[in-house]
Chains A and B, each alone.
Chain A
């Protein structure tokens, strides 16, 4: 499944939602599925700065593919993290780096993308992109 196909699948799953609450229900369900992180990995190094609810993300390369792991105090943010992981997991750094994550806009989550939002999906996306860029550099130097 390509990045685009993964995004389309999410858009299709959420297309019939009539209310914001249904979307949150969906995110909570995905948030509960997210494996999360060991307590030892919920450290400052993996933490995102400036989020109202704490968020931690790790990314590593295995056989040239990115493996993300993430966690948050907020189950709704965990749901958003789970969707990001679903789209970007096991991609090459180059694929992930060039991905247009348009599904976030399509899902009506753009209010969470505003720079002012205290616990921003924006911060998460930016952080994920930084991790990906770092892995692109790492894989290039190898």
Chain B
């Protein structure tokens, strides 16, 4: 089966919008994707027919809500190839997932003089929690430098690992350049030294198949809203042997075995890590998103997105004055660029005036931009529904920007 973009676009109501009188060309998918009708209906159906709090009531609605929430967890566990649903923690998103590990793992395993490794490619969400942790614990943050092509190498990474390294936290895919670090090799190198690895899969999740069994990562975090699901829901996968020994992060209702005034016994994972009422409808919506992706076939999506990306890069390269970042590296999902002599913010406004949505700025990755000697870029990012019309609209918009601003 190949993907028919026309048919797929009809599944996404938001794509029919017009912006400033023009059809929307949405190329900000790395920030968030639109939602297919199946997801919107799943959320609406949950609130319309099953709305209730989970794991608490004896009544029918509560049992039904608990059941759909746990089904969502099982679905996540299956697509990730986890050992079981107890390895899947629902969070509000990638940011919360990484903060959870930084706080919990940090409290248990990081002390003065220890080291955490991140890369220069990281989104602030996979940098600042580790900065904070290292400051608190008087530990050291080691940073894998980015090379000219927007990648990192195994050799440099291995060179930073030592006896004091407690964790490697690494992105699967740069949210600025679309380049992919060699995470499999790095995980292997880390495991040879008994160092656990956390992967930030926020950008990778909508584009690449993620099998935690194959990757053998210890933690993996992603957000629902970047993969056609609702905002406010995300997943932290954690290997059972880690989750069993990690202390809770946030505490409150729904995560305890028994509570006395002076002492609390916490529930088993994953519940220990889900204090308070979770985003039940979000989990239901995320399950629907995953099922939608599965109905199209991850491999078909990958092939389709590769074709669109090739077309896109080809058209971009022909624009006079274009500067593409990331060298000749293969790119997945996103492309960062500028027009010579034109402020990216200005170009972004002209594009918006033409109905084209891109992101401009530092993309929550200031160290990466600084390493490239930049303050700001334009970033266009694709999704499974991106088609030639979006790309042509962007190209026309960039030509208009050159005309008005050049």
Contacts and interface: CB of A to CB of B under 8 A. Distances in A.
B20 A75 contact: no
Given A19-B20, A24-B404, A76-B346, A52 B361 contact: yes
Given A19-B20, A52-B361, A75 B353 contact: no
B91 interface: no
Interface in B341-392: 343-346, 349-350, 352-354, 360-362, 375-376
Interface string A1-45: 000000000000000000111011100100000000000000000
Given A20-B20, A75-B343, A76-B349, A53 B404 contact: no
B405 A75 contact: yes
A24 B343 contact: no
A54 B345 CA distance: 10
Contact of B353 (A21, A52, A118): A21
Contacts, number: 49
B346 A21 contact: no
Contacts of B346: 28, 53, 74-77
Given A21-B350, A74-B345, A76-B349, A28 B404 contact: yes
B400 interface: yes
Interface string A41-73: 000000000001110000000000000000001
A119 interface: yes
A25 B404 contact: yes
B398 to A, nearest CB: 14
A54 B343 CA distance: 10
B345 A53 contact: yes
Given A19-B21, A21-B354, A52-B360, A73 B343 contact: yes
B51 to A, nearest CB: 30
Given A21-B400, A21-B404, A118-B361, A74 B343 contact: yes
Interface of A: 19-21, 23-25, 28, 52-54, 73-77, 118-119
5 contacts: A21-B353, A24-B350, A28-B405, A76-B343, A76-B349
